[in-house]
Structure 1
Amino acid sequence: MARDAGGSAQRRLTYEEAMEEAGFGLFHWLLLVVCGWANASDAVEVLCVSFLLPTARCDLLLTSSDMGLLTASIFLGMMVGGYVWGYLADQRGRCRILVVSLTVNGVFGGLASAAPWFWLLLLLRFISGIGVGGSIPVIFSYFSEFMPRLRRGTMISALATFWMAGNILAAGLAWLVIPRTWAHFSLGSLDFQSWRLFVVLCSIPSLTSALLFRLLMPESPKFLMEAGREKEAIHVFRLMFELNMRGKGKSFPEFGLHTSSKGRGELEETKTLGSCRERLANILKKGLVPIKQMFNGSLKARSITLLIIFYCISFSYYGLWMWFPELFERVEDGGSPCANVSLLSPLHNQSCYPVKTAVYMEGFIIAVSNLPGNIFTILMMESTGGKSLLCCSLVVSSLSVFLIYMVQTKTQSLILSCIFSCVSVIAWNALDVVGTELYPTHLRSSALGFFAGIGRVAAIMGNVVFGKLVDTNCAVPVLLVSALLLTGGLVALKLPQSRQTELT
């Protein structure tokens, strides 16, 4: 019998038993704040592009197709980064990967503000997206592996609400900064418009998140147990216990852990085997193993179902959401978002200045409308379950998008957009909970990273479709979004119920 950190092994606990011994309290609330801020920083970086489009398109002389490429660039990076970082997190540890991916996100997101050419802006946004693609799936794997079984659904729902906080922060910064003339100055040969300052400010949350993880957060105890690192796992449980039981006069109970017999990382084997080419082929082959496992045996049906759902919701949400500010600029003088396509005929005949503040005010209102949906998710997740919330919210989201196309006034468009924002966030929160509960620890980050990558492909396609058709046949992408949301809601009925299940 392996010995524990204290030199004796009077009893040996499973992960769930050790989690109960560690208690629930201050540590978990601190974890929620740090992981939540990281989630919010990802939202800021992803959504900031939508708010700079109305002004950046004039400064960089962008067509609607160019704007579609710009919004798609970060999702292309997220597609690349999602699975790679997720796989590395399953092999090397969650916390280390979060620090690196958040740093990549913040550094290259900030550098994008100084890009004088459109192609360079696209490149920097792509690299920033690689960082975002790693942090989003790994954050939820990391966070869920600290949660007691009976509180997991509620706490993951609470973590998901920080995406709303990032959305509100991005919308608020856009409202405060982009319309301001004082934020316009020259930096050498670069005309530093207000939207560039907005991009700089949007990179700060990611950098501060990376610092918080580096200084404060331990590795996931579930990952450490799976990696056979018993002493380190017990140390994390001790840290959790001491923070949670502070002031209660309790001492940490001595125990051992049932850990996996696998080593610290199977990638180590590739360091000394064969030529560089053979080692690379071996790494790539091992990198595909989690995907094969996801689509075999009992996991196959749920993996196919989640693939369809991720595609439908990502195409729809990001395709529509990233274009909301642009669509609202088109209804500034009244009418349907798809009725005023003539407003954007040719670039040299239009002016982006003075900036229409109402566009950013409306974006802020839509962002705030996430709040009721987030509160509803937190209150109902444990009693209703993620599957039911996911199905219902996708169907209602589909109806709201269809009505956005049908309405004829600016006020009606705003109201229905707020309804879409409120209800669609329930679907995302439910998907975050369901996704973490349906896969074992050795596949969790890889699976979430893979599905996030599928979602990024869908988001790219959604933005390209909007960019190509928004001026010529606006009804097609809007009605397509409605149809895909309905499809996702119906397919979600095939998912197994995972409410309050133990993590494997």
Structure 2
Amino acid sequence: MSDAPSPEVPRTYSGDAVDTDAESLLPSRTASDDSTARASSADAFVPVPLAVDDRATPPMRYRAADALDAMGFGSFQVMILAFVGLAWTADAMEMMLLSFLGPAMRCEFGVGKTAEGLLTSVVFAGMMIGAPSWGAMSDQRGRRPALLGSATATLAGGVGSALAGSFGAMLFFRFCVGVGLGGVPVAYGLFIEFLPSGNRGMNLCLIELFWTLGSAIESGLAWIVLPHGSWRLLLLLSTTPLFAFIVCIIIVPESVMYSVSAGRMDEAKETLRRVSKANGKPLPPGELVASHAGDAPELEDRTVFLGSESRTKKFLRKHVPTSFRALLSKTHAKTSLLVWLIFFGCAFLYYGVVLLTTTLNVRENASASLKCLQNNSPYLTSGEYADIFFSSLAEVPGVLIAVAVIDRIGRRGSMALTLAATAVFTFPVAFKSIGVGIRDVALFCSRSAAFASFTILYVFTGEIYPTRIRSSGLGVGNSFARIGGIACPLFAVTLVETGHRVLAVTFFLVVAVVAVAATLSLDIETTGRKLDADDEPGVELAPVT
């Protein structure tokens, strides 16, 4: 009589060894069992394994990214988009406000044009400090605490600016505004971490429409308020989106990706249930697990960025947050350095083209002097207000370009294409012989292409880093963008005003070419890829249909 073959026993997903020996599946034998066996010793004992039923089947497992893909884009994502849109709107309003605040300071405190330019400089300096700081806080304590802190700092700086009694106080409060605005990329990261993989690039590009909305709102408010009221009232009204944003933080949940990476699985499950209820789609069957890429130990273990142990490395390991060190780890160093270079290039080109447009047009009316109203607000004609209002809509074509190419061509190809287009359209501006109409069209196209590349870069940066360092990656990249924004006036304003237009445009072309080369040197393409895409070894995931 032949032995019955042992059925195949499914492996578990926890990595524990599975004993497939049939006898190990039998209950332990007692003394009475042995006596019974001896009584029938003529027959060989044949072990009959227990039937393997569903109880031996390991549970299915899924990641947060799989659950978001299964539930798709729905009402919950629309809510998060509106929430993040408030941050983008507030950011745009505070930046557009500088166009009116500078002349107001000349009227109120009698400062010169050089001092007026300090307003923009201190805001950018604050953003350089705030962006990596809020990013590190977001990666260590969560998205919501960082957003609450940054919004509160921006609000305090905005209200303080409205009450400032001296130009020095104004500079301090605008610096505080800049520090607070440095936290805006955290909101961007929050939106990324609630999006399904499909059409993620297009959905992220839509956020930039809120920048246009904020710029248009601020221009409209200035048009309404300044001719009849004080610039202080304009500053107070400009903080309205910040109040709404802070209130909304109460009802917006923590990022599910962050909750998982921080080991707060119950919180993550509850958030996913909220998404499921809002979108009307069920969760995948099985158990929620963390993906290997978002695991916190990976940051510490792989942070090796200076080769052998050195004093510098020991100092950085002791004083620099883990998330920052991870950006320069073996895994991320090349990508981080290239992305920072591209951030500098995109900001230099975008802000440079904006300033170049203003500089070339203002030089034609250089004799015009600033006029002040009795309330110390600057006087602008209706035509000038209209020009500012409609110029605030100039980024819309850039958003549409980004939406059209980002998921079709891919992130790297789209960035390279739009950066190259920026160079092509900027080139004719070097020649004084071209007509004003052709020049303005070229600058408009260049501005749209530069804004499109900036938009795509934000998407790419949010996708390349794992959850535990995503906000830090966006924050540090944003700091390099501020450096580009601070550097560009030297070329877009100073060189042009001193008659070196060709040299200025040549430098723009060099920056564009370097940015294109850096983009093409990237080894990663994130189109359609899940966040934290590296699967945890030994874990099989539920199929998402």
- Normalising by the smaller structure, the TM-score range is 0.7 to 0.9
Which whole-Å deviations, capped at 9, do the CAs of 1:53-107 have from their partners, x for residues lacking one? 3444344333332233211111100000010110110111112211221221122
Tell me the TM-score normalized by structure 2: 0.75
Alpha-carbon offset, residue 292 of structure 1? 2.9
Alpha-carbon offset, residue 298 of structure 1? 3.5
Matched, 1:258 2:307: no
Distance in 2, Cα, partners of 1:323 & 1:231: 53
Q: CA 1:400–1:320 in structure 2 vs 1: closer, same or farther (change >3 Å)?
A: same
Which one of the candidate residues 247, 259, 272 is aligned to 1:211? 247
Hey, what does 1:452 align to over in structure 2? 478
Hey, what does 1:198 align to over in structure 2? 234
Distance in 1, Cα, partners of 2:81 & 2:484: 29
Hey, what does 2:525 align to over in structure 1? 497
Q: CA 1:106–1:283 in structure 2 vs 1: closer, same or farther (change >3 Å)?
A: farther
Matched, 1:462 2:488: yes
Which whole-Å deviations, capped at 9, do the CAs of 1:410-469 have from their partners, x for residues lacking one? 655543443233222211111111111111111111111111112112222334666765
Alpha-carbon offset, residue 327 of structure 1? 5.7
Distance in 2, Cα, partners of 1:196 & 1:474: 38
Q: Percent identity?
A: 26
Distance in 2, Cα, partners of 1:67 & 1:398: 30
Hey, what does 1:238 align to over in structure 2? 273
- Structure 1 portions without partners, runs of 5+: 3-8, 184-192, 268-280, 334-339
Which one of the candidate residues 411, 427, 438 is aligned to 1:386? 411
Alpha-carbon offset, residue 472 of structure 1? 3.9
Matched, 1:160 2:208: yes
**Partner amino acid for 2:350?**
Y
Q: CA 1:306–1:390 in structure 2 vs 1: closer, same or farther (change >3 Å)?
A: same
**Partner amino acid for 1:420?**
S
Distance in 1, Cα, partners of 2:242 & 2:98: 16
Contact 1:111/1:124, CA 8 A, preserved across alignment: yes
**Partner amino acid for 2:348?**
F
Distance in 2, Cα, partners of 1:313 & 1:453: 12
Which one of the candidate residues 240, 264, 271 is aligned to 1:229? 264
Distance in 1, Cα, partners of 2:492 & 2:168: 20
Distance in 2, Cα, partners of 1:235 & 1:130: 33
- More helix per residue: 1 or 2? 1
Matched, 1:85 2:85: no
Hey, what does 2:199 align to over in structure 1? 151
Which whole-Å deviations, capped at 9, do the CAs of 1:13-42 have from their partners, x for residues lacking one? 122222234333111111111112211211
Hey, what does 2:186 align to over in structure 1? 138
Distance in 1, Cα, partners of 2:225 & 2:445: 27
Hey, what does 1:273 align to over in structure 2? none
Contact 2:136/2:324, CA 8 A, preserved across alignment: no
Distance in 1, Cα, partners of 2:154 & 2:169: 16
Alpha-carbon offset, residue 310 of structure 1? 1.0
Alpha-carbon offset, residue 10 of structure 1? 4.2
Distance in 1, Cα, partners of 2:488 & 2:431: 20
**Partner amino acid for 1:203?**
T
Contact 2:103/2:116, CA 8 A, preserved across alignment: no
Hey, what does 2:109 align to over in structure 1? 60
Which one of the candidate residues 124, 148, 166 is aligned to 1:75? 124
Q: CA 1:252–1:486 in structure 2 vs 1: closer, same or farther (change >3 Å)?
A: closer
Which one of the candidate residues 340, 343, 348 is aligned to 1:310? 343
Distance in 2, Cα, partners of 1:91 & 1:454: 22
Q: CA 1:360–1:405 in structure 2 vs 1: closer, same or farther (change >3 Å)?
A: farther
Contact 1:71/1:322, CA 8 A, preserved across alignment: no
Distance in 2, Cα, partners of 1:207 & 1:162: 17
Matched, 1:129 2:178: yes
3-state secondary structure, aligned to 2:531: coil
Q: CA 1:57–1:414 in structure 2 vs 1: closer, same or farther (change >3 Å)?
A: farther
Alpha-carbon offset, residue 259 of structure 1? 2.8
User: Size of the alignment, in residue pairs?
Assistant: 455
Which one of the candidate residues 163, 166, 170 is aligned to 1:114? 163
Contact 2:100/2:378, CA 8 A, preserved across alignment: no
Contact 2:353/2:446, CA 8 A, preserved across alignment: no
Distance in 2, Cα, partners of 1:413 & 1:175: 28
Contact 1:50/1:323, CA 8 A, preserved across alignment: no
**Partner amino acid for 2:199?**
R
Distance in 1, Cα, partners of 2:242 & 2:356: 23
Hey, what does 1:292 align to over in structure 2? 325
Distance in 1, Cα, partners of 2:346 & 2:97: 20
Distance in 2, Cα, partners of 1:176 & 1:400: 35
Contact 2:359/2:496, CA 8 A, preserved across alignment: no
**Partner amino acid for 2:191?**
F
Distance in 1, Cα, partners of 2:202 & 2:457: 13
Hey, what does 1:186 align to over in structure 2? none
Hey, what does 2:88 align to over in structure 1? 39
Which whole-Å deviations, capped at 9, do the CAs of 1:370-401 have from their partners, x for residues lacking one? 22221232233211212222112222223434
Alpha-carbon offset, residue 480 of structure 1? 3.5
Alpha-carbon offset, residue 287 of structure 1? 3.4
Hey, what does 1:49 align to over in structure 2? 98
Which whole-Å deviations, capped at 9, do the CAs of 1:449-496 have from their partners, x for residues lacking one? 111112112222334666765654563656534442343233222123
**Partner amino acid for 1:31?**
I
Distance in 2, Cα, partners of 1:327 & 1:177: 28
Hey, what does 1:189 align to over in structure 2? none
Alpha-carbon offset, residue 238 of structure 1? 0.2
**Partner amino acid for 1:384?**
I
Alpha-carbon offset, residue 330 of structure 1? 3.9
Q: CA 1:447–1:81 in structure 2 vs 1: closer, same or farther (change >3 Å)?
A: same
Q: CA 1:372–1:465 in structure 2 vs 1: closer, same or farther (change >3 Å)?
A: closer
Distance in 1, Cα, partners of 2:450 & 2:157: 29
**Partner amino acid for 2:246?**
A
Contact 1:366/1:418, CA 8 A, preserved across alignment: no
Which one of the candidate residues 384, 397, 410 is aligned to 1:372? 397
Contact 1:49/1:322, CA 8 A, preserved across alignment: no
Hey, what does 1:363 align to over in structure 2? 388
Q: CA 1:318–1:376 in structure 2 vs 1: closer, same or farther (change >3 Å)?
A: closer
Which whole-Å deviations, capped at 9, do the CAs of 1:104-161 have from their partners, x for residues lacking one? 11221232123232222111111111110012x2122111111111231121111233
Q: CA 1:417–1:121 in structure 2 vs 1: closer, same or farther (change >3 Å)?
A: farther
Distance in 2, Cα, partners of 1:89 & 1:478: 39
Distance in 2, Cα, partners of 1:469 & 1:62: 24
Distance in 2, Cα, partners of 1:117 & 1:173: 24
Distance in 1, Cα, partners of 2:61 & 2:387: 56
Hey, what does 1:271 align to over in structure 2? none
Identify which range, 98-107 or 16-25, moves more after superposition: 16-25
Distance in 2, Cα, partners of 1:383 & 1:199: 42
3-state secondary structure, aligned to 1:150: coil
**Partner amino acid for 1:208?**
A
Q: CA 1:489–1:362 in structure 2 vs 1: closer, same or farther (change >3 Å)?
A: farther
**Partner amino acid for 2:455?**
N
Hey, what does 1:278 align to over in structure 2? none
Alpha-carbon offset, residue 362 of structure 1? 2.0
